[in-house]
Amino acid sequence: MQRIPELINSNRITYAVKLSAGVRDAVSADGAILLDIDNGSCLSLNAVGAKIWQMLKQEWQEDRIVVALQQEFTTVPISQLRQDYLDFVEELERNNLVQIERYPKAL
C-alpha cells in the first residue's frame, strides 16, 4: 500500500497568509504585477503566480489552493504543487507583500 507523505508527516506546517495592506496589483491573463506602495517594491508574477495571488485575495486557505492547482495541473504530483505554493508565499513574504502565520497542522 502506498503511503501519502502529507498524511504521515505529523510535523507538516500550515500557512495562514495575510496580504499586506499597502499592496496594489494589476492582473491579466499573462500574469500580474504587485506593487507595495509603502516601500516602492514591485514584483512580477507569471500566470500561475497570478492565479495563486487571486486565491489569496479571496482568503482561500492553503489546502483549497493546492487542490485547485491539482485540478488544473493534473500531471504534477500534489506534493510538488504544495511545495511550489509554499515557495511562492515565502517569496511574497520576503518581498513584504504578505505576512505568514505558521502553525502545525493537526491530522
Q: What one-letter code names the amino acid at 19? A: L
Closest CA relative to residue 53, chosen from 79, 16, 19: 19
pLDDT at 40: 87
pLDDT at 65: 94
Q: What is the DSSP letter of 9?
A: -
Per-residue pLDDT of the chain (107 residues; tens, 9 = 90+): 343 444 334 446 677 899 999 999 999 989 999 999 988 889 999 989 999 999 999 999 988 999 999 999 899 999 999 999 999 999 999 998 999 887 776 65
Q: What one-letter code names the amino acid at 14? A: T
pTM exceeds 0.85, yes or no: no
Q: In the chain, what are the domain boundaries?
A: 9-20+47-100
Distance CA 56, CA 100 (A): 12
